[in-house]
Structure 1
Amino acid sequence: RPSHEQSNRPPQQHQQQPSRSAPQSSRSTPQHSSSRMSVDEAPTSSRGGNGSGGAIPKSGGNGGSNGGRGGGTNGGNGSQNVDAQRGARRGNRAICDLVRTRPENQNSKKGSSGTQITLTANYFKLASQSKWNLYKYRVDFSPDIETTFARKAVMRRQMPKLGQHLFDGTMIFSPFRYQNDPTQLVDRDANDQPLQITIKFAGELLYTDFGYMQVLNIIMRTAIEKLHLVKAYGTNGMRYFDPQQTIELRAHNLQIMPGFSNAIRQHETQIMICTELTHKVIRMDTCYSALQRIGARDRDAVMRELVGKTIVTEYNNQTYRIDDIDFSQNASSTFKLKSGEDISFLQYFRDKYNITIRDTKQVLLVSRPKAKDVRGGRNEVVNLIPELCRFTGLTDEMRSNFRLMSDMAQHTRINPDRRVAKYLEFNRRIRNEPQSVEVLNKWQMRLEPELVQLAGRVLPAEKIVFGNRECEPRFADWTGEITKNILFQSGQFKNWHCICTQRDQNTVRAFMGIMMNLARDMKVQMSEPRFVTIQDVRVNSYLQALDGVYNDSSQMVMVVMPTLDAHRYGSIKKQTLCRRPMPSQGVLTKVLQKEPRVLRTVAAKILIQMNCKIGNAPWTVKFPLSDTMTVGFDVTYDTADKSKSYGALVATMDLRRVNSYYSTVSQHRHGEEMSNFLVVNMLKALKQYEHVHQSVPKRIIFYRDGVGEGDISHVREFEVQKLRDDLRSMYKERAPLLTFIIVTKRINTRLFTNMRGQISNPPPGTVVDDVITLPERYDFFIVSQSTKQGTISPTNYNVIFDESGLPPDRIQLWTYKMTHLYYNWSGNVKVPAVCQYAHKLAFLVGQYVHQLPSEECANLLYFL
């Protein structure tokens, strides 16, 4: 069956939720351009096809971004044959207690440090013109109807009798209390046989029920759908795109389709809808052009190229994921219409869309229904015509094209004033569209016209401590201070090596002169390296040279590579991390060929990286707490074996006494409990702490990255509980006090300030711990970075366990301080440095090394 022959029901896109054994890992990329130390960054290998999923039908589907199944809107104020009484709303506050993670002893989560600032957030209040509760009813059919879709079709015919309601296939949600219980209705099934419908009262849908928020999300979604936008389901819920606003990038053969994502949730004292901008990138080249490029006869190559990609159809802008290729059929093949008539794909597209398919022999793409599609009664396999399908997302080659990314950023990196204007315009479109207003009015709901304003605080600016003085940087960036100061800690490079090709030797030697002069200025003792030249750039040539360097007891090896080749880079890192462990620094030849005025800055960044890799810290900040270990943990999948993932843990020693770290990695098979490995790694870090300080820490502040919304409860009940139990078992009365914080970077919240009539990003150090936070959580937002382009994104912190006794101020301040210590970046980063280090290590191992690093370098930041 083709994609359009679905009874007007486009399939949903499957969303891979992070599993408990391997949550998603999302890189926290700093937003500066001038201060990134990217010389030894691992080459990325981002896959294309990152487009959004298919839309959810109007008749029901997933309920909003908060997950869970919702119901279709069976509206209508028809005759009230069933006596109904509108419910009375009790109180004025709804608490959506999805997963209560706020510690029982946490009475207040608001801090007081810093200066007050007035902020605007991308939230609109959702008001109700009258007070109402929702009632839920179970619906049974006799004889039973198997599919949800067929059940909804029957219930749509009962709309005039039941009044305004939602139906999800099993339950009715209604503002009316039906007088008869049970209520009996009669209809006819698909075979025109009598059908008995029994509706039984199942209770009230209380404000404490998460389903209440789902219903509100469905109602708002129905109102938005009246704007005739293209729907797509994304990782943060439903997204709506406007094809009329599509932007053409003809020079790059791309289109950008702007859109919005929306989610309703109960916040501290108000139900609000969060609205954020989103974009879908559509490539002008079709799947057919890929088939032509590869050759359709090379089936393995075709499968590798197409399966897993996300496409959008040209004829109705629907989005699908390619699950398979059907080589047994082509565009001339036939399928059955709902009427039972056989028709070819060629004829169908000619009749329905006036489209003539040029290649009648092209194979068919296959998109299979996912589990949630089947639950919704959508179990048809969708067949797609390659020449009518365009890829979404960017290829690796596109991502490495500076001009393309720069041109695209002109439309996707939107400044605060334009972003706010777009929020308000979207709001006006909903309020000015009669059909949208009608939907909201039926449920007596109203969308407030203005964005929410709230009070935030700006934490005191941190002083960066170098070896000779302190400085207070502007805009969270101290790149210009690096070459003017002495490093906080500096090492000695006595026996170290440099591997390069014979052709690059002169360039490398000239650069070494610049770096050694700079080292003297920064008080780093650096002898000239021993040069090892190779004749070619084959992987084996580099590995043989590394063997020789290792046998010479090298303290550090710099490896100069002509191009950014993932296989070469991975082989070198595997050699220096696993087989012959020693700190290594990768550098590209083109980096050493920059103009002279830039080379000094490049040399400073490479010198800092190398200095860190032998155990030193280039700068620090002042920490108020002693005897405290700070830990970051993140997980990423193994790109070579999806059944494996790697969890990386990076821990500090007592930062008031010594700036040193401990790191370790564990491998997890799919389905294995993460908490077992996390605790083992934590105990390793504590042994290192005890070795350094001859005591265990009094406190552990643990930042857990890579946790999806659906895994929060599991992390609290298993990871936190096991960690706490094992700490008490191991250390008894000496057990450290634990604070466990979930870090979430990919959020839709945006914050703005109005400075002298100009809407702009809030300054670094801005904290929000009220109004838009959640009542069931001990959570807060921090804006730790600064950017001159686009809109800054805050990071959300959810404290799910805390026995430290520290007030919210201390936890917020500590979190902000930790964003200053990522040594690959001379500025603040989006998350605490230990999280960024953990991500860097997990990503390096999962993407390139594919095995556990040696423990010999565990006390060094060797992975920078």
Structure 2
Amino acid sequence: HRPKERSKPGGKQLITGEVLLVPELSFMTGIPEKTKKDFRSLKELTMHINVSSHQHTHSIKQLLKNIISNPESLKELSRWGLEISSEIPLIKGRTLPLETICLQSSSFATGSDLSWSREIVRDFSISPIPLNIWAVFYPRRCADQAKQLFETFKKVAGPIGLRLEQPMFVELRDDRTESYVRSIHCQLTSEPNMQLVVCIMVGNRDDLYSAIKKLCCVKSPIPSQAINIRTISNPMKLKSIAQKILLQMNSKLGGELWTVNIPLKHLMVVGVDVHHDTSKKHQSVMGFVASVNSSLTRWYSRVTFQTPTEELISGFRVCLLAALQKYHEVNHNLPEKIVVYRDGVSDGQLKVVEQHEIPQLIKCFEIFPGYEPKLVFIVVQKRISTTLYSWCANNFETPPPGTILDHTITHKDWVDFYLMAHHIRQGCGFPTHYILLYNTANLTPDHLQRLTFKMCHLYWNWPGTIRVPAPCKYAHKLAFLSGQYLHSEPAIQLSDKLFFL
């Protein structure tokens, strides 16, 4: 059943009313929220979903065999003038060289699994921020875990170079949302130099998390860390969890953890992603994150909300101008090259982005007299159906991290490539698709592929490579936090910190 159409001012058709579905013809897709929150069920489910490359290719070959051996299928294909091969095509790809991770006074080559969780807790981070004035809020029943967590913090803070003072322990009578909000507000009022707020929570409480983040990101801007009591309840895992939390807290305070060698100088890298706000129908949130130093360890972030009638580019321009001003404030000059990674663009929107977004971005450089930087604009696509395998010793396997494919299966109209940046422990290799829409920086495809792979090493919430460049992931986290929990723009005072990690 289709609902009725109603005219809107401007002649647009608006569909209103309920959409009725026939139950027998409808099937649920995706994973329910309840299952996502149940770690054991999710683990069992992923065991069935993430089949190995061998199993996956076997299933595909069986499907192709069934199609070819079915007369009805062949008849239908011949009507369209199509032929289906029974073999999976073999194409020659490349593997990019491994990167070197740089800390404050040491560096190391990454291993084949591209994980460095052990190395980063043995040596000083690039710039640890001393934590002098901070507070821990917890309900009465979590008192022992709160004290135990701080004791573990003290043990693991030294090796990573973090100086940690005793926090203010604030015990709450109950775990109601108002109790947390009132206590945090009271502490922030009495101690204006507070650096960080840590909240220990019981259970998955979206209402409580949202209230804490609204207070700490919008009303009284201060970096905040929410910790679920279940995360710190296992004494066996407490040390490694405390190390991860400390590194995350250091990032939120404006500290710098690690980087890779970036040969390009006077470079700004920008990540953009869009999230659709759940509370306000049809409203989108754009997360914008830009690097403001040469080692790509300091980031400037902004958020813009827009309705469907508004052009995304209007908010994009405001963010880019603010980022350029911040870059100038830090370096006393403007970047010579700007590389934009734009997430959340489908194939159908590529022309719109090329014809509208990019010219508008170039236009905003005119605000700075005589400023003509080189611009590179790359669209990042994660949701693709392409699967890559590695053909080794007559067997299909998962491709190693750094695998590049830039021919045969690429677009005829664009310069594009597929990159597998992350290590896959189970399942098949889903690469990320990168489409180059604009390039005045004279960067060759090889330079862009190397730079993109380097950017996949810089996400500080994970000591390893991720599927997309770090600024894209940061922009996604920022847009998700703002759209899902804050429902408004974060305070400008937090824009030079990764408070949204």
**TM-score interval, smaller chain:** over 0.9
Deviation by residue 1:369-404 (Cα, 9 ceiling, x = unmatched): xxxxxxxxxxxxxxx3x6896644432112222232
In structure 1, which of residues 564, 567, 584 is the aligned counterpart of residue 207 of structure 2? 567
Sort the Cα spacing of 1:444 and 1:562 in 2 relative to 1 into closer, same or farther, 3 A: closer
| Aligned match of 2:375 | 738
| Aligned match of 1:688 | 326
| Aligned match of 2:216 | 576
Alignment pair present for 1:324 and 2:48: no
Code of the aligned partner of 2:320: M
Deviation by residue 1:826-863 (Cα, 9 ceiling, x = unmatched): 11111000000000000001001101110001000010
| Aligned match of 2:484 | 847
The CA distance in 1 between the partners of 2:120 and 2:26, in whole Å, is: 51
The CA distance in 1 between the partners of 2:80 and 2:344, in whole Å, is: 38
Question: Which of 481-490 and 634-643 deviates more?
Answer: 481-490
| Aligned match of 1:716 | 354
Code of the aligned partner of 2:428: T
Shift of residue 762 of structure 1?
0.9
| Aligned match of 2:5 | none
Sort the Cα spacing of 1:859 and 1:755 in 2 relative to 1 into closer, same or farther, 3 A: same
* SS state at 1:504 partner: helix
The CA distance in 2 between the partners of 1:779 and 1:387, in whole Å, is: 42
Code of the aligned partner of 1:634: D
| Aligned match of 2:496 | 859
The CA distance in 1 between the partners of 2:28 and 2:312, in whole Å, is: 35
Shift of residue 650 of structure 1?
0.2
Shift of residue 792 of structure 1?
2.1
Alignment pair present for 1:705 and 2:348: no
Aligned 8 A contact 1:795 1:830 in 2: yes
Unaligned 5+ segments in structure 2 are 3-15
| Aligned match of 2:474 | 837
| Aligned match of 2:406 | 769
| Aligned match of 1:184 | none
Deviation by residue 1:62-117 (Cα, 9 ceiling, x = unmatched): xxxxxxxxxxxxxxxxxxxxxxxxxxxxxxxxxxxxxxxxxxxxxxxxxxxxxxxx
Alignment pair present for 1:624 and 2:318: no
- How many residue pairs get aligned? The number is 485
Shift of residue 662 of structure 1?
0.2
| Aligned match of 1:92 | none
The CA distance in 2 between the partners of 1:391 and 1:681, in whole Å, is: 39
Deviation by residue 1:572-619 (Cα, 9 ceiling, x = unmatched): 0000000000000110111111133x1111011000011001111111
| Aligned match of 2:313 | 675
| Aligned match of 1:16 | none
In structure 1, which of residues 587, 607, 617 is the aligned counterpart of residue 246 of structure 2? 607
Sort the Cα spacing of 1:737 and 1:389 in 2 relative to 1 into closer, same or farther, 3 A: closer
The CA distance in 2 between the partners of 1:737 and 1:793, in whole Å, is: 31
| Aligned match of 2:7 | none
| Aligned match of 2:31 | 394
Shift of residue 483 of structure 1?
2.0
| Aligned match of 1:514 | 152
Unaligned 5+ segments in structure 1 are 2-10, 12-321, 326-365, 368-383
Shift of residue 732 of structure 1?
4.2
Shift of residue 564 of structure 1?
1.4
The CA distance in 2 between the partners of 1:549 and 1:779, in whole Å, is: 52
The RMSD of aligned alpha carbons is: 1.8
Question: Which of 519-528 and 832-841 deviates more?
Answer: 519-528
In structure 2, which of residues 278, 291, 294 is the aligned counterpart of residue 655 of structure 1? 294
Shift of residue 465 of structure 1?
1.1
* SS state at 1:479 partner: coil
Percent same amino acid among aligned pairs?
A: 31
More strand by share: 1
| TM-score (norm: length of structure 2) | 0.93
Aligned 8 A contact 1:457 1:768 in 2: yes
Code of the aligned partner of 1:614: L
After superposition, where does 1:241-640 map in structure 2 within 5 Å?
324=18, 366-367=20-21, 384=22, 391-474=28-111, 475-551=113-189, 552-553=191-192, 554-596=194-236, 598-640=237-279
Aligned 8 A contact 1:496 1:530 in 2: yes
The CA distance in 1 between the partners of 2:364 and 2:175, in whole Å, is: 49
Q: Considering only CA atoms, is the larger Rg found in Structure 1 or Structure 2? A: 1
The CA distance in 2 between the partners of 1:420 and 1:859, in whole Å, is: 46
Code of the aligned partner of 1:581: P
Code of the aligned partner of 1:763: P
Sort the Cα spacing of 1:447 and 1:859 in 2 relative to 1 into closer, same or farther, 3 A: same
Code of the aligned partner of 2:415: Y
The CA distance in 2 between the partners of 1:392 and 1:767, in whole Å, is: 31
The CA distance in 2 between the partners of 1:827 and 1:809, in whole Å, is: 22
Aligned 8 A contact 1:459 1:766 in 2: yes
Deviation by residue 1:447-481 (Cα, 9 ceiling, x = unmatched): 22211111111111011112232122221111122
| Aligned match of 1:24 | none
* SS state at 1:595 partner: coil
Sort the Cα spacing of 1:637 and 1:442 in 2 relative to 1 into closer, same or farther, 3 A: closer
The CA distance in 2 between the partners of 1:684 and 1:652, in whole Å, is: 12
The CA distance in 2 between the partners of 1:543 and 1:462, in whole Å, is: 44
Deviation by residue 1:98-141 (Cα, 9 ceiling, x = unmatched): xxxxxxxxxxxxxxxxxxxxxxxxxxxxxxxxxxxxxxxxxxxx
| Aligned match of 2:9 | none
Aligned 8 A contact 1:648 1:841 in 2: yes
* SS state at 2:441 partner: coil
Code of the aligned partner of 1:481: E
Shift of residue 620 of structure 1?
0.8
More helix by share: 2
Question: Which of 466-475 and 777-786 deviates more?
Answer: 466-475
Sort the Cα spacing of 1:700 and 1:435 in 2 relative to 1 into closer, same or farther, 3 A: same
| Aligned match of 1:795 | 432
* SS state at 2:283 partner: strand
Deviation by residue 1:782-815 (Cα, 9 ceiling, x = unmatched): 1000111111210000010111111111111111
Alignment pair present for 1:816 and 2:456: no
Question: Which of 436-445 and 819-828 deviates more?
Answer: 436-445
Shift of residue 444 of structure 1?
4.4
Shift of residue 715 of structure 1?
1.1
Deviation by residue 1:631-672 (Cα, 9 ceiling, x = unmatched): 00111111111132211100001333x621100001101211
Alignment pair present for 1:786 and 2:480: no
Aligned 8 A contact 2:134 2:167 in 1: yes
Shift of residue 683 of structure 1?
0.4
* SS state at 1:447 partner: coil
| Aligned match of 1:757 | 394
* SS state at 2:90 partner: strand
Shift of residue 443 of structure 1?
4.7
The CA distance in 2 between the partners of 1:603 and 1:783, in whole Å, is: 30
Code of the aligned partner of 1:725: K
Aligned 8 A contact 1:631 1:649 in 2: yes
Aligned 8 A contact 2:389 2:397 in 1: yes
Deviation by residue 1:33-66 (Cα, 9 ceiling, x = unmatched): xxxxxxxxxxxxxxxxxxxxxxxxxxxxxxxxxx
The CA distance in 1 between the partners of 2:127 and 2:373, in whole Å, is: 28
Code of the aligned partner of 2:135: H
